[in-house]
Amino acid sequence: MPELGKYAAEVLSAYGISLTLLSGLVLWSVIAGRRMRARLAKAEDELAKGREAS
């Protein structure tokens, strides 16, 4: 850790909050993407099955 001196709290909190916000955004985007892909695959499966049955 570099010598942050008297501004250590400011610098660390700035980095901490920003990185938390950015990782939160990335995580949310990835998880939502995966979830949607799964739901779509399931729905398309059901549609295909429905067509086969009829």
Partner 1 sequence: MSLWEYANPRRFMAASGAVLPWISGLAAVLVALGLAWGFFGTPDDYRQGSTVKIFYLHVPAAMIAINAWLMMLVASLIWLIRRHHVSALAAKAAAPVGLTMTVVTLVTGAIWGQPMWGTWWEWDPRLTSFLILGLFYLGYLALWEAIDDPDAAADLTSVLCLVGSVFAILSRYALVFWNQGLHQGASLSLDKEQNVADVFWWPAMVTLAGFVCLFVALVLLRTRTEIRARRLKAVVARARMS
Instruction: Give the separation between CA 36 and CA 20, rounded to whole angstroms.
Output: 24
Instruction: Give the separation between CA 16 and CA 11, rounded to whole angstroms.
Output: 8
Residues 21-50 contacting partner 1, CB under 8 A:
21-22, 24-26, 29-30, 32-33, 36-37, 39-40, 43-44, 46-47, 50
With beta carbons less than 8 A apart as the criterion, state whether 21 and 28 touch.
no
Residues that bind partner 1 (CB under 8 A): 2-8, 10-11, 13-15, 17-18, 21-22, 24-26, 29-30, 32-33, 36-37, 39-40, 43-44, 46-47, 50-51, 54
